[in-house]
Every structure is written in structure tokens, then in C-alpha cells.
């Protein structure tokens, strides 16, 4: 009986420590959020909606949510501007400067936020892309995508894409998230909904949290 009580006490302590670790896992973490496009580059558009604006809105919401959990969070841009310093090759200069910002910050992870688009309006769903340069990229992508599936916003799987310029030029662990299709009626309606934005951001945070739990426990 005494052994059973000891075992139960140990189990209780273990459960407490597990919950505590889960709640504290983002404390002190440095995270960089890249809101895709901006300034001269609106990204994908639909009528008066611009991907760049929606990306930035999600970036700020995600920043706030992560900071509430104790993380230190930086954005590559804080308003509607691009990062180009070259008048002749805006796009390349913009991405190179994003890469430089992320490298200078040297975060634990980075998240690049984008929207998808297609000539057909039938495609939908959030999807997380990663580069196979290190295995943690895939682990972060899986952690986030799994949470997307749990709230039934997508049937898509993670996707390896070693051609994405931003991802392949960074050694820092990171992923690019396409939050949904601006060209799909349901996705588009959801992406600009306050309630959906909060749900999606909290889901991303859960995925990030699970990633850090996996690499440390």
C-alpha cells in the first residue's frame, strides 16, 4: 500500500511538471515573424483585399499571442512597406533584406506568413511548407499542420519545398505558412473574420508550443 501511495505521488508530481513545462515552454524563446509581401508588392489580391495586409494583420496577432506566453517576438515589417533597397530589383532586394533581418535577430524559429491563390476557386486549406536543410524544419511544420487538421480547417499535409528562396537561404529553423486561399470563397471569408483569426492564431501557437516540447522532452 505504501508503495502504491509513493507511486501515485510520483505520478502526480510528473503530471504537474509536464503541465508546468507546457505552460512555460515559450518563456524566453525568441521568434521572428515574417509578414510576406508589403509596400510595392501586394501579394495575391481579390477585389479590394490584399494578401500583404492580411499577412500583416496575422503577424501582429501572432506576435501578441506569443508574447502573452513569454516569448520575445520580432517582425520583419511592422506596417505596409517593403524592405527593398534596390530600385532595379525590388523583389530580390526585399527578400534578401528579410533574410538579413532574420539572421541578425538569430531567433529560435521564424514563421513566414502568406496566403495562397489559384486561378480556380475550388482549392482551399492552410498548408505549411518547409526546407529539408535540417530535420527541425519538418518537425516544426508537422507540429503546426497537425494542429490545423485538429480544428478541421484543412486536409492538406506539410509540403517540402527546397525552392522557396527565403527558406533555402536561412539556417534558422523556420517554415512558411499559407493560411488559406484568397481565391476560395470560404477561405477568404474566414481569413478576414475576427473569430477565425483568433482561432487560427491560437492554433499556430499551439503548434509552436508542441514543437518546443518535442525537441526538449
Note the pLDDT of residue 12: 44
The answer to whether position 85 is within a domain reads yes
pLDDT attached to residue 121: 95
Could you report the average pLDDT of every consecutive run of 10 residues in the chain (217 residues)? Answer: 53 43 84 97 97 98 98 98 89 96 98 97 97 96 98 97 97 97 98 98 98 88
Query: Which helix or strand (DSSP H or E) is residue 23 part of?
Result: helix 2-24
Q: Which range of residues forms the domain containing residue 165?
A: 29-216
**What was the pLDDT predicted at 22?**
56
- How many residues does this entry show for the chain? 217
Burial class (CB in 10 A: 0-12, 13-18, 19+), 80: middle
Domain assignment of residue 20, yes or no: no
Secondary structure letter of residue 58 according to DSSP: H
Q: How far is CA 32 from the centre of its chain?
A: 9
**Is this prediction's pTM over 0.75?**
yes
Contact 32, 75 (CB under 8 A): yes
How many domains is the chain partitioned into structurally? 1
Q: How far apart are CA 123 and CA 178, in angstroms?
A: 12
In this structure, what CATH number is given to the domain that contains residue 166? 3.40.630.40
Q: What is the pLDDT of residue 88?
A: 78
Only one residue has cell 510528473, namely: 14
SS3 of the chain: helix, strand, coil, percent, to 5: 50, 20, 35
Amino acid at each position: 500500500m505504501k508503495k502504491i501511495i509513493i507511486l501515485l505521488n510520483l505520478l502526480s508530481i510528473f503530471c504537474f511538471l509536464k503541465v508546468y513545462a507546457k505552460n512555460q515552454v515559450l518563456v524566453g524563446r525568441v521568434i521572428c515573424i515574417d509578414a510576406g509581401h508589403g509596400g510595392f508588392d501586394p501579394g495575391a489580391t481579390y477585389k479590394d483585399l490584399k494578401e500583404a495586409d492580411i499577412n500583416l494583420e496575422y503577424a501582429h496577432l501572432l506576435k501578441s499571442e506569443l508574447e502573452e506566453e513569454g516569448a520575445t517576438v520580432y517582425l520583419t515589417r511592422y506596417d505596409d512597406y517593403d524592405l527593398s533597397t534596390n530600385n532595379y530589383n525590388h523583389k530580390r532586394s526585399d527578400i534578401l533584406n528579410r533574410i538579413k533581418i532574420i539572421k541578425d535577430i538569430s531567433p529560435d524559429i521564424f514563421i513566414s506568413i502568406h496566403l495562397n491563390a489559384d486561378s480556380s476557386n475550388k482549392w482551399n486549406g492552410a498548408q505549411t511548407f518547409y526546407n529539408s536543410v535540417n530535420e527541425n524544419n519538418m518537425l516544426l511544420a508537422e507540429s503546426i499542420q497537425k494542429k490545423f487538421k485538429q480544428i478541421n480547417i484543412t486536409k492538406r499535409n506539410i509540403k517540402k519545398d527546397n525552392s522557396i528562396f527565403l527558406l533555402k537561404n536561412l539556417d534558422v529553423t523556420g517554415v512558411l505558412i499559407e493560411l488559406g486561399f484568397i481565391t476560395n470563397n470560404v477561405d477568404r471569408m474566414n481569413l478576414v473574420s475576427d473569430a477565425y483569426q483568433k482561432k487560427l492564431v491560437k492554433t499556430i501557437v499551439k503548434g509552436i508550443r508542441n514543437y518546443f516540447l518535442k525537441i526538449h522532452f
